[in-house]
A = this chain, B = another copy of it.
Amino acid sequence: MNETTSTSQIRPIHTCGCDAYEPNPIEVLMHQMLHNGSEYPIQMAKRTFRRGQHLYRPGANGKHVYSINRGTFKTYRIGDDGRERILGFHSEGMLLGLDSLAGRQTHCGAIALDTTVICQIPIAAIMAAADKSKQLRQRLFEQFDDEIDRLGTRLSLRTLPAPQRFAHFILSIAGNSATVTVPMTNKEISNYLNLVPETVSRLLAKFQQRGWLTIEGREIQILDRAALLTQSAVADAPRGHPKFIGSIVCECSPGP
């Protein structure tokens, strides 16, 4: 293990030298409880990882939840065939390791994609704090809810054709900024989108050809967000009212 454990104790948020980040609500709450003279010995360490290092492995009995302060992680599982399946990418402000909260083995692992900084919160401390704080319990449920929503969204997107999925992906990692540094390889992107690296390469070329974006190394510059948005949504016309399948029809709209 050659990751860095930089600090180990109470410290105000935003003390790290890096840019301000949107801190995760749970991290904030834990910090607050710390300062409000909680009797629990909360040890929130900040740790740094470099590309390729594991934050945790599948099957681990996680003792911490991690709030990402900087950088990007991927979470993955190992399929029956022994190959990695990427479940998601996670960056600043997101929580990792929530699935250890119930005290069971994690089903997935997490690996840093670039240089990352996390705030490590002991599960014991969270649970102890949750015994006291209704607000914390509420936040935890919200975090779980968010996670389930993310997975559900990804599942419901799986059916779109490749160009749509890819355009959607570009926009999602770009957020509102015009340029993004993409920390994942084509292989990782393709795994995530259920494609093959060649297809990702071709799509990137196509989008560039059409003047929707430009690529320089790992930097993508969005030139035509509207076009990408259109591409990401286009399927076929939502003709008529919501379609329910299996003879189960939305009863919202009686015929004219």
Q: Give the residues in chain B near A140, CB-CB below 8 Å.
A: 141
B155 x A79 contact (CB < 8 A):
no
User: Which residue on chain B has the smallest CB distance to residue A85?
Assistant: B156
Q: Mark A178-219, 1 if CB is under 8 A from B, else 0.
A: 000000110110010010000000000000000000000000
List A residues at the B interface (Cβ < 8 Å): 51-52, 76-87, 98-99, 101-104, 107-108, 111, 113, 130-131, 134, 137-138, 140-142, 144-145, 147-149, 151-156, 158-159, 184-185, 187-188, 191, 194, 233, 235-236, 238, 241-249
Picked from B77, B81, B235, the residue with its CB within 8 Å of the CB of A236 is: B81
Q: How far is the CA of A108 from the CA of B156 in the complex (A)?
A: 11
> Residue of B at shortest CB range from A131?
B134
Q: Is the CB of A85 within 8 A of B159?
A: yes
Q: Tell me the nearest residue of chain B to A245, going by C-beta.
A: B187
* Whole-angstrom CA separation of A248 from B137 in the bound complex: 36
CB pair B242 A80 closer than 8 Å: no
The 8 A-B pairs at the shortest CB distance, nearest first, are namely: A82-B238, A151-B151, A185-B246, A85-B156, A102-B145, A144-B144, A102-B141, A81-B235
Residues of the B chain whose Cβ atoms lie less than 8 Å from the Cβ of A78:
242
Minimal beta-carbon separation of A191 from chain B (angstroms)? 6
Considering the chains assembled together, what is the distance between the CA atoms of A248 and B114 in angstroms? 11
Minimum distance in angstroms from A33 CB to a CB of chain B: 17
CA–CA, A152 and B101, complex, Å: 16
Q: Which of B52, B84, B243 contacts A83 (CB 8 A)?
A: B243
CB proximity of A142 to chain B, nearest CB, Å:
4
**A243 lies within 8 A of B82 (CB):** yes
The residue from B80, B151, B191 contacting A245, defined by CB atoms under 8 A apart: B191
Q: Which B residues are in CB contact (< 8 Å) with A187?
A: 245-246
Residue in contact with A155 in the complex, picked from B82, B87, B233, B244, CB distance below 8 Å? B87
Q: Which residue of B has the minimal Cβ distance to A240?
A: B82
Within the assembled complex, what's the spacing in Å between the Cα atoms of A246 and B140?
A: 32
With A77-B152, A131-B134, A248-B51: A84-B243 Cβ-Cβ less than 8 Å: yes
Tell me the complex Cα distance, A83–B236, Å.
10
